[in-house]
A and B are shown apart, each in its own frame.
Chain A
Amino acid sequence: MDQLVDGEALTKVLVLSLVFGAGVPAVFALGVRALAPVDGTTSVLRRSAAYLCFAVCAAAVVVGVAKLVIGSD
């Protein structure tokens, strides 16, 4: 902790935050798009894809909560 900014840690924080912070909403949006009816119906395939997307988002939330419980290192 000699220098004021630890560049390497900062880069890690920024990249990981970007992956989760922008990636999760994007996956959620993909789910919403898959669920939207095409010609009045939503196929089983699209429906499954949508639920998979939402599951990925839910998993990200679980990882977040787990991080809180374990705490920072």
Chain B
Amino acid sequence: MARIVGDVDGIPLLVLVVVTALAFDFTNGFHDTANAMATSIATKALRPKVAVLLSAVLNVVGAFLSLAVAATIAKGIVEQDAVTMSVVFAGLCGGIIWNLVTWYFGLPSSSSHAIIGGLVGSVLVAAGADGVIWSGLASKVIIPAVIAPVAAGFIALTGTWLVYRITRSVGSGARESEFRWGQIGSASLVSLAHGTNDAQKTMGIILLALIAGGELPADAGVPVWVIIACAGAIGLGTYLGGWRVIRTLGKGLVDIEPPQGLAAETSSAAVILVSSHFGYPLSTTHVASGSIMGSGVGRRTPVRWGVARRMVVAWLITLPAAGLVGAGAEGIQRLLDGAAGTLVVLAILVAASAGLWLASRRSAVDHTNVNDDWTAPDRPASVPA
């Protein structure tokens, strides 16, 4: 732990880590707007701008609801002694860069996996294989990631089939408008759960940094300013909306009707809430994507399996890829010991983020073209004619 004080001066590094953590929180909200709102936007239950605003507000509210899982991030996955501030910084870089890369390609990948992967990578470089609790990584991250989308898909399939079976005698016009209302309710619940779960992950990271930096005693709770800052960052990210990911989930995977959207979102909400009650923190992304696919199968509409395959590949490589970036970032900091290393990593992080943003402008997706017909299944988005 002595490294923390020895490296860059404690306070500047601490500030850097806190700001980077908030930046990650922002990409987290940005990347995951789709999980709650993609189906509501696709079925026009909500106008795109209204959907992201509602989701943002509920994410902020969710962040204030509970602090039960704050500070549990990476606990039981990496050895706490191996976590220094430069390790946390490198891990955050891995998480942010991977989130932006997958956003650029419009792929709904897990923000939780990105940050855990980044941290595991940087701990591997800092402390070697002993710094990682491999059984914890398997039981808390990898196995749930395999089971969750399949379970969510099966539940959404069942729900969709039931809904269509029950309402098949009802005229589709009346049916659609009522289901749109139901959809708003279920999507709101997913947003709220997302705010509660994901904003707390960042709160946990900042708390960890504050304790490691000696600013707070080891048994301290989350300070109020941290809660407010994290709620704000995730809310702002959600409001700006990762339109590229929303487009893939809402239009790319399957064509979604309101009853199906309701079934998919209710399945997501149920899986997330029930599993977090039993202490399995799941990736909302995996659950939401699984649900949407399942609802497509349940309505017997063609699922674009090419898009699904790309998505699954992104899930599989998220942990190792974010880990690689995290490991690289920590490696640079070790190589150029002290402030120089941290500054180089910071420069790379800013350059990579700016580069991806600029690249995204060439085929921009926003609230105006998010619902355009899915014409190029192998590309993340197409510019409207």
Contact = CB atoms under 8 A, between A and B. Distances in A.
A70 B268 CA distance: 20
A7 to B, nearest CB: 11
Contacts of A21: 152, 155-156, 158-159, 266-271
Contacts of A22: 155-156, 158-159, 162, 263, 266-267
B166 A26 contact: yes
B343 interface: no
A71 B66 contact: yes
B6 interface: no
B66 A13 contact: no
Nearest to B176: A32
A18 B155 contact: yes
Given A36-B174, A68-B65, A17 B270 contact: yes
Interface string A30-73: 11110110000000000000000000011001001101111111
B82 interface: no
B155 to A, nearest CB: 4
B182 A28 contact: yes
Most chain A beta-carbon neighbours within 10 Å: one of B160, B174, B277: B277
Contacts of A5: 139, 143
A22 B156 CA distance: 7
A29 B166 contact: yes
B273 interface: yes
A4 B162 contact: no
Contacts of B357: none
A32 B275 contact: no
A7 B306 CA distance: 33
A27 to B, nearest CB: 9
A17 B167 contact: no
Interface in B19-74: 62, 65-69
Contacts of B160: 25
Contact of B273 (A9, A25, A33, A67): A67
Nearest to A9: B278
Contacts of A18: 154-155, 158, 270
Contact of B135 (A4, A26, A36, A61): A4
Interface residues of A, number: 37
A12 B138 contact: no
B196 A68 contact: yes
Given A18-B158, A24-B266, A28-B182, A1 B174 contact: no
B185 A57 contact: yes
A67 B262 contact: no
A46 B99 CA distance: 49
A70 B65 CA distance: 8
Contacts of B170: 32-33, 36
Given A12-B278, A25-B263, A29-B162, A17 B271 contact: yes
Most chain B beta-carbon neighbours within 10 Å: one of A5, A25, A57, A61: A25
A73 B279 contact: yes
A14 B287 CA distance: 13
B360 interface: no
Nearest to A58: B185
13 contacts: A9-B280, A13-B271, A13-B275, A13-B278, A17-B151, A17-B267, A21-B158, A22-B267, A29-B162, A35-B174, A35-B178, A64-B189, A64-B270
Interface of A: 1, 4-5, 9-10, 12-14, 16-18, 20-22, 24-26, 28-33, 35-36, 57-58, 61, 64-65, 67-73
